[in-house]
Amino acid sequence: MRPHDPLGATGAPAQPDLNLLRTFLAVYRSGSFTAAAQLLGLSQPTVTTQIRSLERQTGRELFERLPRGAAPTAIADELAARVAGPLDALAEATGHGPRESRAEPVHLAGPAELLSTRALPALVPLVTEGVRLRVTTGLTEPLLDELRAGRHDLVIATTRPRGRTLSAVPLADEEFVLVAAPAWAGRVARRPAADVPAALHDIPLIAYAEDLPIMRRYWRHVFGRRLNCRAAVSVPDLRAVLALVTAGAGFSVLPRYLCAGALASGALVLLDTPEDAPINTGFLVQRPGTSDNPHVTLVRDRLLEAGRTW
């Protein structure tokens, strides 16, 4: 047998059956034994048994078992590359592949702020043409776990998914800006950038979360120091943070897309204009495997097109 011949195609006595290969591909694409079981309509122990059987037949370990999922080995990558196309073609030929007639609702998930201000408005033309959407908001990691389990078709993620089992495409970059209402601007006007943190020390800080992840990243990236402040208000919705800061409650760091209107109108002002502002790339992540819903492709392509202008 040649090295790295996972199927045993050069003379192994046993050939894996199609059910084992289908189960393997479901685990590979979903990144989880549990998610694969849900996608296949099997029990999780059945999936585990089938993967162990395939590993015994091939004489290779296909997945590294992790606390949250299963990571494919290099052997699994090679096997998936060899069997995915034929298995997908067989599924479609036998009536289990994509069918143009199945235009079910598209399940889209992501951050509430980006969905409400950018993604959903961009999808209005599709909605008027008959595309139905079911939208879920939340944090990236839980949404990606739900995507692997088959609860969503597409997820807008604030970070690139770990591993190689999800298809992630860059969607848009968001720039973070330090802002406050004009009433507070005088505290930092005409000060050197290095003096801005000290000038803001006595101004209430309005944050997305108690541990200040966005604020801390800005401080490290722009000022090269740790942020030593506590939030006056923390609220897990950047739209609420924007409303509070616009009303004069204090200062915050926000994505530019979210506060662009307030900056243009003068309701907010920039407290700092660094040459290298912090930027975060968002990704559009697709549900594993082939989809039999043609509207998923329509929504994906529309979002990727619109994301170029965000």
* pLDDT tens-digit readout, 129-181: 889 999 999 999 999 989 988 889 999 999 999 877 788 999 999 999 999 99
- Asked whether residue 266 carries a pLDDT value surpassing 50, the answer given is yes
What's the pTM value of the predicted model, to 2 decimals? 0.67
- Asked whether residue 294 carries a pLDDT value surpassing 60, the answer given is yes
Burial of 140 (0-12, 13-18, 19+ CB in 10 A): buried
- Asked whether residue 278 carries a pLDDT value surpassing 50, the answer given is yes
Handedness of CA 39, 30, 57, 44 (dihedral sign): negative
Return the DSSP state at 195: G
What does the block give as tokens for 175?
């720039």
Among 75-79, 177-181, 290-294, top mean pLDDT goes to: 177-181
- 44: which residues sit within 8 A by CB, 6+ positions away? 33, 34, 37
Q: What value does the mean pLDDT take over residues 293-307?
A: 92
Percent of the chain as helix, strand, coil, to the nearest 5: 45, 20, 40
pLDDT at position 289 is: 63
pLDDT at position 271 is: 94
Q: Residue-wise over 20-35: b if at least 16 C-beta within 10 A, else e?
A: bbbbbbbbbbbbbbbb
**E strands in 195-299:** 206-207, 233-234, 251-255, 269-270, 279-286
91 or 109, higher pLDDT: 109
pLDDT at position 15 is: 59
- Asked whether residue 12 carries a pLDDT value surpassing 70, the answer given is no
What confidence category does residue 42 fall into, taking pLDDT thresholds of 50, 70 and 90?
Answer: confident
- Asked whether residue 128 carries a pLDDT value surpassing 80, the answer given is yes
Q: What value does the mean pLDDT take over residues 71-93?
A: 86
Q: What value does the mean pLDDT take over residues 211-232?
A: 93
CA atoms within 13 A on the CB side of 139: 5
Residue type at 74 in one-letter notation: A
Distance, CA of 6 to CA of 182 (rounded, Å): 65
- 90: which residues sit within 8 A by CB, 6+ positions away? 18
Phi and psi at residue 88, to the nearest 5°: -65, -40
Q: What value does the mean pLDDT take over residues 234-254?
A: 96
Q: What value does the mean pLDDT take over residues 279-305?
A: 87
Among 91-95, 149-153, 247-251, top mean pLDDT goes to: 247-251
**Contact status, residue 267 vs residue 183, Cβ threshold 8 Å:** no
What confidence category does residue 41 fall into, taking pLDDT thresholds of 50, 70 and 90?
Answer: confident
Percent of the chain with pLDDT over 70: 89
- Asked whether residue 244 carries a pLDDT value surpassing 60, the answer given is yes
- Asked whether residue 211 carries a pLDDT value surpassing 90, the answer given is yes
Residues forming beta bridges with residue 157, ordered by sequence position:
283
16 or 130, higher pLDDT: 130
